[in-house]
Every structure is written in C-alpha cells, then in structure tokens.
Amino acid sequence: MSSAAAKKPRPKYLSLTALLFEIRLPASAWVSGMHRISGALLFFPFAAWLLYLLDTSLASERGFQHVKVDYLGSPLAKLGLIVFVWAYLHHFFAGIRFLLLDLNKGIELVPARRSSYAVFAVSLALTAFIGWRLWS
Amino acid sequence: MVVKRVVVGAHYGLSDWLAQRVTALIMAVYSVILLVVFVRGAPLNYGVWKDLFSQGWMRVGTLLFAVSLAWHAWVGVRDILMDYARPDGLRFALQVVTILVIGAYLGWTVQILWR
C-alpha cells in the first residue's frame, strides 16, 4: 500500500460538511448546484407567491394598492422579492450558459470556468442593483 | 469504424431533454419582452396593469409561459426527485404532489387571466 493512501481514511464518503469545507468544487459545479437550488425555489414557493401577487393585484384597485404599498413595502416581502430576483436571474443566466454548452460553445476548460464566473457576477450584480432600487 | 448503436427504451429521455430547452427559450423570450414592457412603459398603476393583462397577446403569451413553466418544472423537479428522494415510495408520493401542484398552478393561472 502506498503511503499517501495509508494516511487518509478510506473510503471517503460525501457529506454536506465534506462538500462545503473539505472538497473544493470548481466554479462550474457551483453554477450547476445553484441552478438546481434556484430552480427548486422558483417552483416552490416563488411560483405560488407570484400567482398570489398577480391574482390580488389584478382583482381590484384596492388589491393593487394593497400589494404595491402595504405588502411589497414591508422589509420581509422585499427580502423575499430579492431572493426571488436572484433565483430567477441565476437560473436564467446559468440556463443560457447550459444552452450554449449544448451547442458546443465554450466547452474548453478555461472558457467554461470563465463563463461560470460570469454567471455569478452578472446575476449577483443585477440582483444587487434591483435590490438597491427596491430599497431606495 | 462506425459504431451502430441500437437505441432502445421509451425515448422519453431525449424528448424531455429537448422539451426542457424549448420551454426554457419560450420563457426567456417572454421574460425579456415583459422586462422591455416594464422599462419602457408608463409608470405602473392599476389601470395600466389591468389594461396590460386584458390584451389578448398578453393573456395568450402568459398562458404559453405558464404551460412552458409547467412542463419545464415537471422535468426539473422529477430529475431532482430521481436523484435524492429515497425510498421509491417517498419519491412516488412527492412526484404525485408535484403533479398536483403543477395542475393547481395552471388552473390558478387560467382563472387569473380569464376572469
């Protein structure tokens, strides 16, 4: 048995702490994982929440004012809105990246890493911008 | 050498894969159009909002978005459940719940659009 294999306990099982603190995933893996998490969040609860907002705001003038002033004026709703905006933007840009990868665009290691960082940069920057506009 | 692969199975893998991408494009186009309408349109009040959703193209476009979302979400959520939900009974139950939620979303959307 080689000495390198003897030092580390084997077999190594994947766990949440291992994924977060021991194994360094490449940026493209984080884009993919966040694409899943954002997609799940968009399906539930955000789709239901948006349908509720659309329903209330279209039902009557009072409903519209309630959504616009009272409801979306509260800090908690704004926080929810910002998480939604991030999830939508990340899912959007990561999805476009996947579509381009399907067309064999940017599949080499360096451009694939670069586009991963671009997905995070663009979606987070736009989320910050929209969050700033919401709060000011 | 050309390898002749005999493709067997129900083929729903390929059609789901393709549907995932086509529905994604439909939703992306709708999102961009809606963004342009918001950015270039008049300041939002109840009249503007109500008018927007009483237009035929907006109703049909939103319905297309909702149907795309339903299909897209089904493929996506099913993929997630196939990866993590164990045992099979739990996965099956969650898949049934997912279908019910998607159906409820679609019904609600139609109700909102054609009130």
A-chain residues near B76 (CB < 8 A): 39-40, 43
**How far is B101 from A41, CA to CA, in rounded Å?**
14
Q: Are A43 and B73 in contact (CB < 8 Å)?
A: yes
Report the chain B residue with the minimal C-alpha distance to residue A52. B108
Mutation target to probe the B interface, by most B beta carbons within 10 A, among A41, A43, A105 is A43
Q: Which domains does chain B have, with CATH numbers?
A: 12-113 (1.20.1300.10)
Q: What is the pLDDT along chain A (136 residues), one digit of tens a residue?
A: 456 556 777 777 778 888 788 888 899 999 999 999 999 999 999 999 999 999 999 999 999 999 988 888 899 999 999 999 999 999 999 999 999 999 999 999 999 999 999 999 999 999 999 999 888 7
Instruction: Check: CB of residue A99 under 8 Å from CB of residue B24.
Output: yes
Q: Are A44 and B50 in contact (CB < 8 Å)?
A: no
Question: What would you report as the CA-atom Rg of chain B, rounded to the nearest whole angstrom?
Answer: 19
Return the SS3 of B11. Answer: coil
Q: Are A58 and B115 in contact (CB < 8 Å)?
A: yes
Closest by Cβ to B76, choosing from A39, A51, A55: A39
Interface predicted TM-score (ipTM) over 0.90 = no
Mutation target to probe the A interface, by most A beta carbons within 10 A, among B16, B46, B52, B68 is B46
Nearest-Cα distance to chain A for B50, in Å, is 6
Q: Which residue has the higher pLDDT, B9 or A38?
A: A38
Instruction: Check: CB of residue A48 under 8 Å from CB of residue B105.
Output: yes
- Helix ranges, chain B (H): 12-40, 46-52, 56-84, 88-113
Digit-coded pLDDT (tens) for B62-93: 999 999 999 999 999 999 999 999 899 999 99
Q: Which domains does chain A have, with CATH numbers?
A: 26-135 (1.20.1300.10)
Residue B25 touches chain A, beta carbons under 8 Å: yes
